[in-house]
Structure formats: C-alpha cells, structure tokens
C-alpha cells in the first residue's frame, strides 16, 4: 500500500484529459504515468463531414488532447479525449470544425507546454470536378513497404489513401504499430488514410482493440465502426468488414443494403460506387483464392445495386477481373480490354502488393474471368475521378517505376451492339447474368 500512495499522488499531479481515469491507467497502461508528452504518430482521420477533420496522436505520458488550427475561416481550438489500452502509450483524439471546403488548414496538436510542429492539409471539396487518391493493401514495414510509403509521400496530387486491411502486421507486438505510424507520419499529417479492417487487425491477445484505439471512423473513442461509407468527388466509397458477419440477415448486410440503395439515388452527383474490403470475392492465387462464402453472401447485392469496383487484398499479388457475375465474364470492353462502361458487372481487384512477401503460386489455367494478374511485384494503385468526362481511371504502379496495368471505367455506354437482356436490366446482354443471380440467391436462402 505504501508503494501505491506515491504513484497515486504522481498521477493526480498529471493533467487529466477527458475519458481518462485512474483505474484504466493503473490496470492497462501504468507506463503512461511518467514520460514525454511530445506528440508522435500524428495522423488525420476523415469524418463524414468535409468541414471537419479528426486528428489522432500518441504520447509516452498522459496528457491533454488539444488541437489548434488556422484557416480562412479564422483560428480555432478544441480539446478532445485521451485514452489508452494494454500498451504503454497514451492516445488522443481531437476534432477540427468549421473548416473551409477545398482550402488549406494549418494545425498543431499537444497541450500548453508541449506542442507538435505545425502541419497543413487541404480539405476535400465533395463537389470538385477532379479527385485523385491511392489505394493499397497488405502493407507492413518491409523495405518494399517503405518504398510504397515513399511513393505515396512523393505524390503531390493524391488527396487520400485507402488501405484494404492488414495494415501494420503487429500480430500482438504493439511496438510494430508505433513504428508503422512513425514511418507514415509525414504522409498522414497532410492527407487522411481511410481503412478497412483485415484479418491481421484481429490480434492474438488483443483482438481488434489496437485498431479501435488507433483509427477512428465513428467519432467515438475506444470503439470502431467496422463498416462505414464516405462521399467523395464523383465517388461513393464503402468500407466493409470481411472479418465480421456479412451474411444475409446480419447487421452488416442490412447496413450495406441500405447504404447502397441510398448511394444509387445519388448517382447524378456521385456516379461511381466502390467497395473496399480485405478478403477477395475473386482471386486466382493459390494461397487463399476466392472467398466463396463472401461471394455467395454479397455478390447478388453488389450486382443488383450496380457496384462498379470491389477492391480487396489478402492475397499478396495483383489481379483484375473483367466485369464478372457468377464467375462468368460479362464484357471484355474496348481498346484492348482497357475501357469499360458501367452496368456490365462489378470489376474486382486484388491489390495485396504493398509490401508483404509475394504469394507466387497461381491457379492454372488462368480463369476466364481474370483479365490481368502478376505474382511477384510490389506497388500501389492510383485512381482518379474525371468529372468533365464522368470517368474513373485506374493505374497499377510498380515500385520499380513501371506501370503494370491500367483501365478506364466510364459512365457513358460504349455503344456496343447488344440485346437488352431479360427484364430490360441495364448492362445485361444475355440470360447468363440473371441465372447467376438466381443461383446465388437460392444458395443464400438455403
């Protein structure tokens, strides 16, 4: 008891931030009772309101969560909340509000006696006519992963990064998260990284707790919504979880259905719908391959709601499908298979090439639905929305500076000669897609 008294006295002398309490600190992160309050691992987190931006950071010792910012709307300051989990770092989340749309904001985080340096970011204008972002999956901190991180940092045009799960590969070693965030900090302080959860975020001894404490999608600390969406210029993006129940009747399925129905009512403003998740519906890699249960549960919904792209990771290689339904190719496009129109069926991409060891064994022969695949390269993918032409362009970049694959998806019809299909469903050129949907629906109801 005598040893505990000085500890409690010391704790009471430390400024207590919102959401912190003695029991949490003593039981979960006693190492945060002393140490530096210098902000580290600073990273922006996008909300569903583009006039807001959350920022999360860590400190070795408990501290207050304060952010100050300056923009054309004036100066602002707010105090957020601080918290910890079973790892001796304190985490802080604070929100910047009333930010000008499409303009630069300067900010710093910390508290009265210990501030970070100042950083800048530009808020996203959801009505902009042009939007560029980078998508990756299966990252970590290998030399190849650092090459990808350097490429992201060097790209002066990208406005956001998405990552389809398997982020740091901490796998229970929490300092791996600390190191990963420090490596990405130069990028994450100026553009938001938006995440879908992967199987490696479900850590032994911790489950999803580290992910819940280090990222934010719902403005609630020590919690995380594992499926959510964001409206961007020309794009409605959905981030779903392949690591939680997605079957018909589940909470996630109901949310996905409602969100897609709403998104389809706004196609004039945002013509493209992209779904990010970790495990792929279509993969010809021999290590994991296609997640058939995922496809059985959700492909019908995605087709009915005319999802344009489904972007996954999990298999450490690159693959793009043709527009496909029920393993049947719906179109091979034009311009040597590099240009497609909406409504022909979702295009699926596996982009698990951001740094983890490549899975080199592929299914042979190559499935007819597989348009392009490569199994020993690393890199990142860039997507650009072109508002003037209402097109979405996609490029797979390798870390050696070469381009592996590219295609364009356009809203307008390709004007190819085709029949109207059964029931006049747009994009269906034969009875095969209908039969595929019916078959999938019957499987779902069994």
For residue 308, give the DSSP letter.
Answer: -
What pLDDT is recorded for position 12? 38
pLDDT bucket at 379, cuts 50 / 70 / 90: very high
The more confidently predicted of residues 15 and 278 is 278
Task: Give the residue-averaged pLDDT of 203-223.
Answer: 93
113 and 197 both lie in a single domain? no
Count of structural domains, the chain:
2
Question: Is pLDDT of 16 > 60?
Answer: no
281 and 367 both lie in a single domain? yes
Question: Which of 76, 103, 122 is the endpoint of a domain?
Answer: 122
- Give SS3 for 243: coil
* In 159-225, beta strands by DSSP E: 161-164, 193-196
What pLDDT is recorded for position 34? 85
pLDDT bucket at 24, cuts 50 / 70 / 90: low
* In 21-172, beta strands by DSSP E: 40-45, 53-59, 66-71, 74-79, 81-85, 87-96, 104-111, 114-115, 119-122, 130-136, 161-164
Residue 286: which of 355, 387, 390, 359 has the closest Cα?
Answer: 359
175 and 221 both lie in a single domain? yes
Tell me the per-residue pLDDT of 413-425, one tens digit each, with 9 for 90 and over. 987 544 343 333 3
Tell me the per-residue pLDDT of 313-335, one tens digit each, with 9 for 90 and over. 999 999 999 999 999 999 999 99
Tell me the per-residue pLDDT of 252-265, one tens digit each, with 9 for 90 and over. 999 999 999 999 99
Tell me the per-residue pLDDT of 115-134, one tens digit each, with 9 for 90 and over. 999 999 999 999 999 999 99
Partners of 44 in the β-ladder: 55
Q: Which residues contact 124 (CB under 8 A, 6 or more apart)?
A: 46, 50, 101, 102, 131, 159, 160, 232, 233
- Give SS3 for 162: strand
Share of the chain above pLDDT 90, in %: 82
117 and 157 both lie in a single domain? no
CATH classification of the domain holding 363: 3.60.21.10
Residue 84: which of 109, 66, 60, 54 has the closest Cα?
Answer: 60
What pLDDT is recorded for position 27? 73
What pLDDT is recorded for position 422? 34
Neighbours of 102 (CB within 10 A): 14
Task: Give the residue-averaged pLDDT of 216-226.
Answer: 89
372 and 310 both lie in a single domain? yes
What pLDDT is recorded for position 220? 86
What pLDDT is recorded for position 2? 41
Residue 136: which of 157, 167, 158 has the closest Cα?
Answer: 167
Tell me the per-residue pLDDT of 428-446, one tens digit each, with 9 for 90 and over. 343 445 455 554 444 444 4
The DSSP string of 362-409 is: B-SSPPTTEEEEESS--EEEEEEEETTTTEEEEEEEETTS-EEEEEEE
What pLDDT is recorded for position 446? 40
Beta carbons of 252 and 180 less than 8 angstroms apart = no
Alpha carbon distance 24, 184 (integer Å): 28
95 and 204 both lie in a single domain? no
Question: Which of 122, 145, 175 is the endpoint of a domain?
Answer: 122
140 and 72 both lie in a single domain? no
Alpha carbon distance 94, 306 (integer Å): 37
246 and 293 both lie in a single domain? yes
Task: Give the residue-averaged pLDDT of 271-290.
Answer: 98
- Give SS3 for 432: helix
User: Domain of 26?
Assistant: 4-122
- pTM recorded for the entire structure: 0.90
Element (H, E) at 235: strand 235-239
Alpha carbon distance 408, 309 (integer Å): 11
375 and 426 both lie in a single domain? yes
108 and 135 both lie in a single domain? no
Alpha carbon distance 153, 108 (integer Å): 20
pLDDT bucket at 399, cuts 50 / 70 / 90: very high
CATH classification of the domain holding 37: 2.60.40.380
For residue 199, give the DSSP letter.
Answer: G
Alpha carbon distance 81, 62 (integer Å): 11
Residue 395: which of 409, 387, 405 has the closest Cα?
Answer: 405
440 and 306 both lie in a single domain? yes
What pLDDT is recorded for position 139? 98
Largest separation between any pair of C-alpha atoms in the chain: 86
Residue 164: which of 380, 338, 372, 360 has the closest Cα?
Answer: 380
Question: Which of 122, 148, 173 is the endpoint of a domain?
Answer: 122
62 and 145 both lie in a single domain? no
- DSSP strand pairing (339-341 vs 347-351): unpaired
């Amino acid at each position: 008891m005598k040893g505990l008294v000085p500890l409690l006295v010391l704790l009471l002398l430390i400024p207590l931030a919102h959401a912190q309490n003695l029991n949490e600190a003593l039981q979960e992160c006693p190492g945060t009772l002393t140490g530096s309050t210098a902000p580290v691992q600073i990273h922006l987190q996008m909300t569903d309101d583009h006039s807001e931006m959350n920022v999360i950071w860590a400190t070795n010792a408990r501290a207050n969560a304060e952010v100050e910012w300056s923009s054309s709307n004036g100066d602002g300051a707010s105090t957020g909340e601080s918290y910890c989990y079973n790892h001796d770092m304190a985490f802080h989340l604070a929100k910047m509000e009333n930010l000008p749309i499409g303009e630069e904001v300067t900010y710093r985080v910390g508290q009265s006696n210990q501030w970070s340096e100042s950083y800048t970011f530009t808020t996203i204008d959801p009505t902009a006519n042009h939007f560029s972002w980078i998508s990756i999956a299966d990252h970590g901190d290998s030399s190849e992963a650092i090459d990808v991180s350097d490429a992201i940092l060097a790209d002066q045009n990208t406005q956001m990064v998405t990552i389809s799960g398997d982020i740091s590969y901490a796998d229970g070693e929490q300092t791996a998260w600390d190191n990963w965030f420090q490596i990405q900090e130069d990028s994450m302080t100026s553009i938001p990284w938006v995440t879908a959860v992967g199987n490696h975020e479900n850590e032994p001894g911790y489950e999803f707790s580290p992910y819940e404490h280090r990222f934010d999608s719902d403005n609630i600390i020590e919690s995380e919504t594992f499926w959510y969406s964001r409206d961007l210029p020309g794009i409605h993006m959905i981030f779903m979880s392949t690591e939680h129940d997605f079957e018909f009747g589940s909470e996630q399925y109901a949310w996905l259905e409602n969100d897609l129905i709403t998104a389809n009512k706004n196609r004039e403003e945002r013509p493209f719908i992209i779904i990010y998740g970790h495990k792929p519906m279509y993969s010809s890699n021999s290590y994991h391959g296609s997640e058939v249960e995922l496809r059985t549960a959700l492909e019908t919904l995605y087709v009915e709601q005319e999802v344009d792209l489904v972007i996954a990771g999990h298999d450490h290689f690159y693959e793009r499908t043709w527009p496909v339904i029920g393993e049947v190719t719906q179109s091979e496009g034009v311009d040597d298979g590099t240009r497609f129109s909406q409504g022909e069926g979702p295009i699926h991409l596996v982009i698990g090439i951001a740094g983890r060891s490549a899975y080199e064994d592929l299914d042979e022969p190559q499935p007819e639905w597989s348009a392009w695949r490569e199994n020993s390269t690393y890199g990142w993918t860039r997507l650009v929305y072109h508002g003037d032409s209402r097109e979405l362009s996609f490029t797979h970049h390798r870390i050696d500076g070469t381009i592996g694959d590219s295609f364009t998806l356009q809203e307008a019809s390709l004007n190819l000669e085709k029949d109207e299909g059964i029931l006049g469903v747009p994009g269906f050129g034969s009875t095969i897609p209908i039969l595929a949907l019916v078959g999938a629906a019957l499987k779902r109801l069994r």
